[in-house]
Amino acid sequence: MAKLDIVTYPDLLLTNKSEPILNITADTHKLIQDMADTMYSFAGVGLAAIQVGISQQVIIYDHLTQDNNKNFQAIINPEIIEQHGVQTSEKEGCLSLPDLRTDVKRFKTVSVKGLNAEGKPITIDAEGLLAVILQHEIEHLNGILLVDKISALKRNIYKRKTLKNLARG
């Protein structure tokens, strides 16, 4: 399929709330496959549609990728319906925030409901890395970024560094 461009911080598109998908179409299926190709090309474990410039509630993930065994999953209109416990996601990163790695407090377990690519209702009970990935990608759909999880001082330093790099072009 196609490798898409990743929207990077400080692009304001990333702060927008994504729209639910009301009808799953061939375009939806193409978007999902293109997102997977993009995620794998950047060695990511998750991707939200907003990160490729599409303001729709679609995420993909693959927390088990090993030896080129690609087995991504897609969730349309995902929503966290239950959450328990606390864990620290160490050195969490994001394709839209290059060069940022930070520890983030996340729920230890989550239950996520949504639709699969065929439009059938699904519920995923996740813990550990999968719980982190799902929380991270769903936050993207709500306009919440990893940079929002760090202190104001670190955020300002990262923003200045990013803007300086953009100015260099």
- Catalytically annotated residues: 137
What's the N-to-C CA distance of the chain in angstroms? 29
> Residue 111, by phi and psi: left (phi above 0), alpha (psi -120 to 50) or beta?
beta
Query: Can you spell out the DSSP letters for 57-108?
Result: SEEEE-TT-BTTB---EEEEEEEEEEEE--EEEEEE--TTSTT--EEEEE-S
Provide the Cα torsion 105, 107, 108, 110; round to 10°. -150
Residue tagged 């410039």 (tokens): 53
